[in-house]
Amino acid sequence: MNILLDTHVFLWAITGDARLSARHAERFLDDGSDLFLSVASIWEMLIKLGVGRLPTPAPAAEYIVRQMEKNRISLLPIRTAHLAELEKLPRGIAIPLVAC
């Protein structure tokens, strides 16, 4: 199963945070799951770090990459085609970031 991790799910999973649901933890640890993290999530984490809202070990970018490698998470780029698809969504619709 392909799973796009939400930023919070990624952070909770790598830190063992109790807010990670049992269902998400099971899917995160399942060797049959293909895990992905969007480059947008990394961007979000580094912005939050920069404004003091996300404590991470330094250097943060290296820490995130190490955690991705350790947990077999692939980087999902944002392509122009992805942006074009966003324009097709009805206004006001929430975009799901966790596929579980």
d(CA 66, CA 71): 9
Tell me the percentage of the chain whose pLDDT exceeds 70. 91
Assigned fold of 2-86: Rossmann fold (3.40.50)
Please answer whether residues 97 and 3 qualify as being in contact, where contact means their C-beta atoms are separated by less than 8 angstroms.
Answer: no
Regarding pTM above 0.85, the answer is no
Residue 75 above 90 pLDDT? yes
Q: What is the pLDDT of residues 40-65, one digit of tens each?
A: 999 999 999 889 888 888 788 899 99
Edge-first strand listing for the sheet containing 34-38: 2-5, 34-38, 73-76
Strands (E), the chain: 2-5, 34-38, 73-76
pLDDT, greater one: 72 or 89: 72
Give me the residue spans of the domains in the chain: 2-86
Distance between CA 8 and CA 82 in Å, rounded? 21
Q: pLDDT category, 95, cuts 50, 70, 90? A: low
